[in-house]
Each structure stands twice: as structure tokens, then as C-alpha cells.
Amino acid sequence: MSNVVEFKKPEPEETETSLSGTGYCMECRHEWAAVGPPGVQCFECPSCGTFKGTWMGIVEPPDDRWVCACGGQLFFVTKAGFDCARCGIEQTY
């Protein structure tokens, strides 16, 4: 009699995507190329060392995204749905 134990193949680790853009320190006004995970709202400034660094401008996600027929990619979230910031058209699926 033999005991056979089946081993599950390990799942590949999910790789966390990173966002990149311009970082800006609200303390010393230093600007730098910043990289961070999605959702990060403050960074340590490489110049003054305070945690008052933030993203400057729009943060673009690395994945596919919704694009309006007019080409706009920025939307306002309203109680009624999503409106294109470029042409004002309400978006439908």
C-alpha cells in the first residue's frame, strides 16, 4: 500500500503594477521622477526627507482604460454615471 500525496503547482505570484510620474514636494518644492504602487498618496522627498511629496498632474494607470468616442480619457464621476471631461457626453457601456 502506498500513500500518494498530490502537490499543487504553486500559483505564479501576482506582480504589482507601478505608477510613474512627476513627484512634487509641498515642503521644499523639489520635483523628481517618482514611482509608486497604485493608491500611494504621499512620498518621501529625496531632497528634504519630509513625507510631503505627492503626484504632480494626472496619474495615468498602466492598464487599458475607457476612451470616449471623442478621444477623451478623463471623466467626471457623477451620481448619474460618468461624463467625459472633454466633450461632456454621458458614457454608456
Radius of gyration of the chain (CA): 21
Residue 8 scores a pLDDT above 80:
no
The model's pTM is 0.54
pLDDT at 89: 92
Judge contact between 32 and 54, C-beta under 8 A.
no
Could you give the domains of the chain? 18-62 (2.20.28), 64-93 (no CATH)
- 21: cell is 510620474
Half-sphere exposure of 36 (CA within 13 A, CB side): 18
* Span of 15-24, 25-34, 72-81 with lowest mean pLDDT: 15-24
Residue 12 scores a pLDDT above 60:
no
